[in-house]
Amino acid sequence: MNNTLETIQVPAQITEKWQEIIDLLAEMLHVPSALIMKVESPNIRVFVRSESEGNPYERDERACLNTGLYCETVMKTRQLLLVPDALADQEWNANPDIKLGIIQRTLQEITVSMSRGAADGFEVIASQC
């Protein structure tokens, strides 16, 4: 990803609208966390987080890319990802979020492109038990 995409500034009015959408999405889907993430290579950052009860993610929290995150698969495939039980799935049972004490039973992620077709942002909807 080039530096131009990484330095895109999202206007405050847009961020506020995204916050409303993410909060509504978490409420409608009855999940503890809904996020909009932003790639800032070599990391990925929580750009907007739902204010829902039980959301374990913090705004501006960062994680390294290329570590097996669910979102990396979504960015590569640009398709919905559904993991019915990460602990029982050999592909996902070592996911970094599990090491944080987050046991993800269902996870859905949808890519949201912010510019020129690049996957420089995406939305994550996760439910945990």
Q: With a cut of 90, say whether residue 61 has pLDDT above it.
A: yes
Closest CA to 83 of 68, 10, 93: 93
Q: What is the spatial distance between Cα 127 and Cα 129, in angstroms, rounded to a whole number?
A: 7
Question: For residue 26, is it within any domain?
Answer: no
What pLDDT was estimated at residue 4? 46
Does residue 15 lie within any of the structural domains? no
Q: Is residue 120 part of a domain?
A: yes
Q: What band does 59 get if pLDDT is binned at 50, 70 and 90?
A: very high
Q: Residue 29 pLDDT more than 70?
A: yes
Please report the pLDDT score of residue 2 as a whole number.
47
Average pLDDT, integer, range 53-80:
85
- What the block records as the tokens of 104 is 């993800």
Q: What is the CATH number of the domain that holds 72?
A: 3.30.450.40
Whether 70 maps to a domain, the answer reads yes
Average per-residue pLDDT in the chain? Answer: 78
- Which band of pLDDT confidence, cut at 50, 70 and 90, is reported for residue 62? very high
| Domain containing residue 70 | 32-128
Asked if residue 55 belongs to a domain, the reply is: yes
Is the pTM higher than 0.85?
no
More confident residue, 92 or 8: 92
Q: Any idea which residue has 């960062």 for tokens?
A: 62
Asked, for residue 73, whether it belongs to a domain, the answer is: yes
Q: Which of 23-32, 43-52, 113-122 has the lowest mean pLDDT?
A: 113-122
Q: Does 18 fall in a domain?
A: no
In a domain, 4, yes or no: no
> Total structural domains in the chain?
1
CB-CB contact of 68 with 74 (8 Å): no
How sure is the predictor about 104, in pLDDT bands with cuts at 50, 70 and 90? low
